[in-house]
Amino acid sequence: MRLKTIDIGGLAAPNNVFLAPLAGYTNAVFREMCLRLGAGLTFTEMVSAKGLCYNSKNTEELLYITPSYGGIKAVQLFGGDPEFMERAACSEHIAPFDLIDINMGCPVPKIFNNGEGSALLADMPRAAALIRACKKSGKRVSVKFRTGLSAGKIVAADFAKMCEDSGADMITVHGRTRDKIYAGEVDFGAIAGAKAAVGIPVIANGGVFCDEDAERLMNETGADGVMVARGAMYAPWIFAELTGGGPPDRRALVLKQLEDTAALFGERFALVFMRKMAAFYTKGKKGSSALRERLFACDGLQKLRQMIEEAEF
């Protein structure tokens, strides 16, 4: 993986290997863990602009940043109304953040049918208005989007150009169409088209599970960097692999994640969340199927600690 710094409107990301915003996963503890492992930039889970404007407690909890977090602070907002996006971007909730990423790629029906996420691929004027609205905050703004709604509606290059013209400081292109959700081959050509259309940094997203995947994505698209999504859910130590860091003690890493998650979010959340993460981390290992059954039957943190200590990572 060819490492380099990324200039995001004057913000310098130390390298070009980023953690994707992942709903239900990229909480404050997970983000800090990935940063320490080598990620050049991490993002919050996607946050509703309307939720912030209405002071939703659940929405605000997604914005928590650990005091020891030392990287660029990046939040991902979603919404379809420029007024709400501006109010959210300029609010005290977003004040601690250096970078606002706008979600224009989420394929989930609830988001799509509300005119948000990937629905914006079919409404460039409104997408442009959302970018301009967030720029009024004075913060750097990036946009994450898909190549199009379907194979016959590829808009990556035109959408990329619109983002740049509207003030975006960086874009991330997920190389799949909305209808593919997270399956199917990554469209290298569409990402390359977006890269050729703009002068701002372009990050390629899709199918990165190892160093070879990252190299191929960079070589085939000409992108400035890669964003890791599901690959980080299954193996957060991928960031050490891609950035040349020494191999971490995986068991110690997972145990620390468990302790930090419990300290920050409480034992009940930690139990439910870390059972799920431990199942991801051990997938494909010897005895993983039996372990998964035991994990989801586990009813206490001490039992979970013991399972992690005995598991193969």
| Marked catalytic residue, from 34, 106, 163, 298 | 106
**CB of 9 closer than 8 Å to CB of 170:** yes
**CB of 245 closer than 8 Å to CB of 37:** yes
Rounded Cα distance between 9 and 257, Å, is 32
**CB of 172 closer than 8 Å to CB of 137:** no
Q: Is 163 one of the annotated active-site residues of the chain?
A: no
| 141: β partners | 100
Write the secondary structure of 187-215 as one string of H (helix), E (strand) and C (coil). CHHHHHHHHHHCCCCEEEECCCCCHHHHH
Count of positions (residues) in the chain: 313
What are the backbone dihedrals phi and psi of residue 231, each rounded to the nearest 5 degrees, phi first? Answer: -60, -35
Helix and strand tally (H, E) in the chain? 15, 10
Known catalytic residues are 106
